């Protein structure tokens, strides 16, 4: 079997550039012949330049299909206005090859899937008609695609992969960051936008401090809300308990996931399956998060996480306190999460996709 994979460029940010390369390597290890071609993903370049990049990427994919025999094309994408326009052009250009195209979603906009605008609904239906298969990340997303008119037989379950062997404890991590021994380390990692819940985490930490609990919080990432978050840290007198690292690469976040005691992620964003949650599983981190999309399908309470309602700093503080005060529960949750992460190793994910490719290929 030969597969052509559209990969994000190496300078892109976000989950796909982190989780797709080990997945492709696992496909090759399993005997699948894989060719890679850059596919425009997560680009923040000006509009005209983006259009030119989309056109050129689609043409490169088409030249590949004309020059060799492939069984499946696998494109990493999302489902919103920009991505639908890009994918529609690409699918139309590739259609004459007769090679089935699988669209692997790395998230989708709920408002876009529910749009009543005739123009966008028409374009969505064209995507549904031309794609051989669309991989979605959660049962909620599946229902939204069905409601938008996508046939059930064209929907599959998309899965990310993460290599658990990369997550190892560092006995000197706390000392390196001047954190007292046995101080519980909390971790938040995301773009600093309101829907990710960063300000709720900081408010919850204010309650933890007022209750006399010892803790240290790392905030990984950057974004529009950083200045406001830093002001709130100063207002709540948390400067000695909270550190903002700024943007770091996905690879660099591994050390923080490996050495935190609780991962805190009270998101109310239109999430697919946030990679940070998958990394927390692989690292064996206890988790406090919201019941959002794929998390609701994969996690159970109290085995893998404690659920918290969105926009509820007080409840968030209670759940964090519950884990801080119960080391036995943290240990059990950590062991459960490492076991659950075995379903998301590159090899396990590759085996699932090979079955999908075989069901799509006319060979």
Percent of the chain, pLDDT > 70?
97
Taking alpha carbons only, the member of 256, 302, 297 closest to residue 280 is 256
At residue 353, does pLDDT exceed 80?
Answer: yes
Separation between Cα atoms, residue 354 and residue 78, nearest integer Å: 21
Enumerate domains of the chain plus CATH numbers: 2-161+345-360 (3.40.50.2000), 166-343 (3.40.50.2000)
**Left, alpha or beta for 251 (phi > 0: left; psi -120 to 50: alpha)?**
alpha
Longest dimension (CA), the chain: 67
**Left, alpha or beta for 77 (phi > 0: left; psi -120 to 50: alpha)?**
beta
0.75 exceeded by pTM = yes
Taking alpha carbons only, the member of 20, 32, 16 closest to residue 356 is 32
Separation between Cα atoms, residue 283 and residue 274, nearest integer Å: 15
Separation between Cα atoms, residue 139 and residue 298, nearest integer Å: 10
At residue 227, does pLDDT exceed 90?
Answer: yes
pLDDT of residue 47: 72
Q: Are 6 and 104 in contact (CB under 8 A)?
A: no
Confidence bin at 271 (pLDDT 50/70/90): confident
pLDDT one-digit tens code per residue, 299-339: 999 999 999 999 999 999 999 999 999 999 999 999 999 99
Which has more confidence, 293 or 343?
343
pLDDT of residue 45: 64
């Amino acid at each position: 079997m030969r597969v052509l994979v559209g990969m994000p460029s190496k300078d892109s940010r976000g989950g796909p550039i982190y989780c797709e390369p080990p997945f492709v390597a696992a496909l090759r290890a399993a005997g699948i012949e894989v060719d890679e071609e850059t596919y425009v993903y997560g680009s923040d370049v000006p509009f005209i330049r983006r259009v030119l990049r989309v056109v050129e990427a689609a043409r490169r994919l088409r030249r590949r299909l004309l020059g060799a025999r492939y069984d499946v094309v696998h494109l990493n994408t999302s489902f919103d206005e920009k991505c639908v326009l890009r994918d529609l052009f690409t699918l139309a250009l590739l259609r004459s090859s007769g090679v089935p195209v699988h669209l692997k979603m790395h998230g989708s906009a709920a408002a876009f899937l529910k749009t009543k605008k005739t123009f966008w609904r028409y374009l969505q239906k064209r995507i549904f008609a031309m794609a051989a298969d669309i991989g979605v990340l959660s049962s909620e997303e599946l229902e939204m695609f069905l409601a938008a008119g996508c046939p059930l037989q064209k929907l599959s379950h998309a899965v990310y992969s993460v290599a658990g062997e990369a997550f190892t404890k560092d006995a000197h991590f706390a000392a390196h960051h001047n954190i007292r021994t046995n101080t519980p380390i909390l971790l938040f990692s995301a773009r600093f936008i309101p829907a990710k819940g960063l300000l709720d985490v900081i408010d919850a930490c204010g309650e933890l401090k007022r209750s006399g609990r010892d803790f240290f919080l790392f905030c990984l990432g950057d974004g529009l809300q950083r200045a406001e978050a830093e002001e709130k840290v100063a207002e709540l007198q948390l400067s000695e308990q909270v550190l903002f690292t700024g943007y770091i690469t996905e690879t660099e976040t591994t050390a923080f996931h490996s050495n935190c005691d609780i991962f805190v992620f009270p998101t109310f964003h239109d999430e697919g399956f946030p990679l940070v949650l998958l990394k927390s599983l692989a690292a064996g981190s206890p988790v406090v998060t919201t019941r959002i999309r794929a998390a609701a399908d994969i996690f159970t309470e109290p085995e893998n996480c404690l659920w918290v309602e969105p926009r509820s700093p007080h409840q968030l503080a209670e759940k964090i306190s519950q884990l801080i005060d119960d080391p036995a529960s943290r240990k059990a949750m950590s062991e459960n999460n490492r076991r659950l992460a075995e379903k998301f190793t590159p090899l396990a994910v590759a085996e699932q996709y090979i079955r999908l490719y075989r069901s799509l290929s006319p060979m």
